[in-house]
Amino acid sequence: MGYGSRYVNPRDIRLPGGYAAQVFARGLTAPGSIAFDGDGVMYITDSGITDGNGKLLRHCSGGFQVTADGFNPPVTGITYYEGSVYVAHKGSITSISKDGSRKDIIRGLPSFGDHANSGAAFSSYGKMYFGQGTATNSGIVGTDNRKWLMKYPFFHDLPGEKIRLNGHNFETENIMSAAWDEKISTGAFLPFGTASSAGEIVSGALKASGSILYCGLDGSGLKQAAWGLRNPCCLRFDDKNRLFCTNRGMTLAGSRPVAASPDEFLLIKHGYWYGWPDFTGGLPVTAPQYKPKGMDRPKFLLAEHPMTPPFPYALFEPGSGAAGFDFSPDSAFGRGDAYIAEFGNDADTRTGRKISRLDMRTRTLTPFAYNKTAGRYSGGFARPSDVKFGNDKAMYVADYGLFGSGGELIPDTGVIWRIYKFCTYRLARPRT
C-alpha cells in the first residue's frame, strides 16, 4: 500500500488484542491536529511549515478540502466549540464559523521564540484556555536561538510574576557581532547580551512565557491561570472539568543544557507555578540525573521559587514529544482514560512515535499503539501528533509525516489513522 514517497501499512502497528488499525486518509501535508464538529464532521490542519500557509481542512465525500487558510505557521491546534472551529496559530487564536467568517479572538501572543501558543480548550463555564510556550529551552537566550534572534534581537522569556534572579550569567559567542572572537554574557529572563546581577528583580507579565491563559469566548478578560511550563502542547478538560496539559521537557541545547528532562502530563490548577526553568519532572534541575555528561550540573536561575511545584500527574520518557491527546468517551477504550500521541524526536528514533494510554485512576502510562519494527516507522506511524475520538467511538490519529535528512518535512506524507475495537465499530465512519 504505497503512496508517493511513503509506504503505509496498518499491519505494521502493534495493538492490544481486539483492536485493529486502518488508513482513513493519506497524502496529507503536516496534519497536526484533529477536531470533530457537532455533526461528527472531521476537521484537520495543515500546519503550514512547508509553504508558509497554515490551513484548516474539512472532510467531505471527496476527501479533505481547504475551508480556511492564511494562518501564521505553525498552526498548533484546532478545537470545535458551539458552532465554530477555533484555530491556534503563531501568536493568535482565530475562530471560523459555519458560514466561513473568521475573527481573531486573541492576538499579540509572545510566540516569536522556540515555542508558540497551543490549541484551545473550553471549560464547562464558557472560558477558553490555551497555553503559551517559552522563548528558550531553559531560560537563557543563546546561540541556539539564532533562527529567531536575528529578527527579534530583544526578545526573551517573561516570567508570570515578579521574580528575583541568582545572577548566573552564561558566556557565548556574540552572534550579533561581525567580530568572530567577541564574547557576550546573558542572564536569565533577559535579552541576549544582557548580564544579570544577584538579587535583580524581573517584573511579571500577564502573557508570560510557559503559561496557561484563559479568557471569554470573545477574547475579553484575559487572565493567567498558571505558569512555569516549558512547552504546553495540548490542553483538554476531562469529564470532571479538570484541566490537563502535555508539557515537553528541556533538552541538551543552548547555554544551559539539561539532561534527561522528561515530558509531563500535568493537572493544571489556578495560581500554581509548575517549575520551569528550575524544576523538571517534579524535581530540581540540580538533581544528579539532569547533569549533562562532561558538564557542570545545572544551577538555579531564581533566587527564590514561587512555590514547590506539584509533581506531574504522569511522566513520559525524555524526548517522547508528548503532544495531542483525548479522553476516551466509551468503555471500548476504557472510559475516561487518556490517549496521548508521542511525536518523538530526531535524535532517538526509538523514543516516542506511538500512542500511549494513561489510566487516569492509577496514573499508569502504558504503550497502546506502536510500530512493530522498533526504531523506524516501517509502514506504521511516522510522527503521531494528535488523538481524537469520533462520534463513531473509534480513535483517530493524526500522523504528521516523514522528515528528510535535512530535517525538512516531506509534503504529502501525512496520514490519518483510524483505530477501532473489533466488530462493534468497524463499519462506522465520520460523517461528511
pLDDT tens-digit readout, 302-339: 999 999 999 999 999 999 999 999 999 999 999 999 99
pLDDT above 80 for 348 = no
Q: Which residue has the higher pLDDT, 106 or 347?
A: 106
Note the maximum CA span of the chain: 68
The model carries a pTM of: 0.95
pLDDT of residue 84: 97
Give 360-404 as a 3 state SS string.
CCCCEEEEEEEECCCCCCCCCCCCEEEEEECCCCCEEEEECCCEC
Q: Is 144 helix (H, G, I), strand (E, B) or coil?
A: helix
- pLDDT-based confidence at 178, cuts 50/70/90? confident
Q: Is residue 101 part of a domain?
A: yes
* Residue 376 and residue 432 in contact, taking contact as beta carbons nearer than 8 Å: no
Q: Is residue 157 part of a domain?
A: no
Q: Is residue 83 part of a domain?
A: yes
Weakest mean pLDDT among 234-238, 300-304, 346-350 = 346-350
Task: Provide the number of structural domains found in the chain.
Answer: 1
Q: Is residue 15 part of a domain?
A: yes
- What's the sign of the alpha-carbon dihedral 408, 85, 90, 302? negative
Task: Give the residue among 19, 54, 23, 49 at the shortest CA–CA distance from 418.
Answer: 23
- What's the sign of the alpha-carbon dihedral 331, 385, 43, 219? positive
Phi, psi for 290 (deg, rounded to 5): -95, 5
Q: Is residue 192 part of a domain?
A: no
- State which residues form the domain around 63: 2-132+207-421
Round to whole Å and give the CA distance between 290 and 284: 9
- What's the sign of the alpha-carbon dihedral 275, 281, 287, 288? negative
Q: Is residue 255 part of a domain?
A: yes
Give the mean pLDDT of 246-272. 97
Q: Is residue 127 part of a domain?
A: yes
Weakest mean pLDDT among 125-134, 235-244, 272-281, 367-376 = 367-376
Residue 47 belongs to domain with CATH number: 2.120.10.30
Give the mean pLDDT of 128-136. 98
Q: Is residue 201 part of a domain?
A: no
Mean pLDDT of the chain: 94
pLDDT above 90 for 398 = yes
Place of cell 512547552: 231
Q: Is 143 helix (H, G, I), strand (E, B) or coil?
A: helix
Q: Which residue has the higher pLDDT, 258 or 375?
A: 258
pLDDT of residue 375: 58
